[in-house]
Chain A
């Protein structure tokens, strides 16, 4: 990836944290405050990263507060040498556990914080309050590892729930603060209930990669109280670049499904230019990649669509595609939405999420179109259709799409 890699390109792991202050090389605390101020003038909020589960082995707490960490024993070290580390502390030599999850060996650049120790919980909440004073939101790495039932599975100890207390305490001081959880293992709803504003929606991403429309529609049937609090993404630092993972026709179709669904629209630097190389997080330099003009043009149009009030603030609903005629099973390959703001700001999104041509009918959930003529203009393409409003409501909008083809129709009734 970087043929001219040097030591300078490897600053160390971002998951092995020694202190939550801004590194001098990035400009220090003052620079962050200035940066945040400049963003705020442009209406942009700043979210920072927080790694709750563990710290670096050279974190000052290791010496001063070894009781903040999960302690092992000679027996544990002998049995699982890859999971424990001997350290010197102010309270004598100790054997502490590497950070880990219930499924894999420890991460040897980290030590596991002991969330069953109430003093550690207090110290972590104090850190979150300090971070919340510097930004508008925090993305919490692997947030589910702190859940009592998960911690129990990993360590055999059940801590008091951390997140309800932590989020409530921070929100008391900073009511507009946003918590976003990186979360897997079907624990999104649990973390939403414990105070997270947004949770990663890995499930939609996985189903888009699997390439079957039925399970995608099924996922999007969940209540909006849940879906509004999902962070929808097609790539991030932990996933392959979308431009390398998806062939371009499917990439576009997946982006339409992802970013026009309800929730937080979560993009990654380089995605808009079609970057293909995933930069490992322990590097501080990425390769020079040329912008892919076709991908850049697509995302520019998609971002323009996302500026429409209906997609930012409107009412979203799923449309279940109906067979275009008896025995035509190709309707099963479609995903479709309605998205409505004011009566003159209504949209129909339709995607043929398969590698075959398909047809379907979409019964539009806008009964007041009865008796009107409706012009449908594709905001992502060039198609324009004039249709009878009563037909759209009663019999449905007829769709006949090539593989992976999609539209974002703007409706103009007249």
Chain B
């Protein structure tokens, strides 16, 4: 937590649901490696400047 803001923001995604949606929109299979910058930028835009932002990825690891 060093250097972080006092009250950060957390945005939870369900990784599989999120990737399935991105894949459907892109018309091809999208994994965590293929998420394009535009998606990440729009993702970041919502919480822009909320330093120490975090993503929680439910079931990313299993």
Residues of chain A having any CB pair with chain B under 8 Å: 11, 14, 17-23, 25-28, 30-32, 34-35, 38-39, 42-49, 131, 134, 136-137, 139, 175-176, 178, 180, 197, 228, 231, 236-237, 262-269, 272, 279, 281, 283-286, 303, 306-307, 311-314
Contact = CB atoms under 8 A, between A and B. Distances in A.
A47 B5 contact: no
A42 B40 contact: yes
Given A137-B54, A263-B7, A313-B7, A22 B60 contact: yes
Nearest to A308: B49
Contacts of A43: 44, 51-53
Contact of A267 (B5, B12, B48, B59): B12
A39 B40 contact: yes
Interface string B1-45: 111111111111111111111000000000111110100110110
Contacts of A23: 61-62
B46 A48 contact: no
A264 B8 contact: yes
A38 B35 contact: yes
Nearest to B35: A35
Contacts of B12: 236-237, 266-269
Contacts, number: 172
Nearest to B52: A45
Contact of A32 (B4, B6, B46, B60): B60
Nearest to A228: B6
Given A265-B8, A306-B50, A176 B16 contact: no
24 contacts: A21-B61, A22-B32, A26-B16, A26-B32, A27-B33, A28-B31, A31-B34, A34-B33, A44-B44, A45-B54, A139-B56, A197-B1, A228-B6, A236-B12, A264-B8, A266-B9, A266-B10, A266-B12, A267-B9, A269-B13, A272-B46, A283-B17, A312-B7, A313-B7
User: Nearest 3 pairs between A and B by C-beta?
Assistant: A27-B31, A14-B59, A31-B33
Contacts of B40: 38-39, 42
B53 A306 contact: no
A11 B41 CA distance: 29
Given A38-B35, A312-B5, A269 B47 contact: no
Q: Which of A19, A268, A269, A283 counts the most chain B CB atoms within 10 A?
A: A269
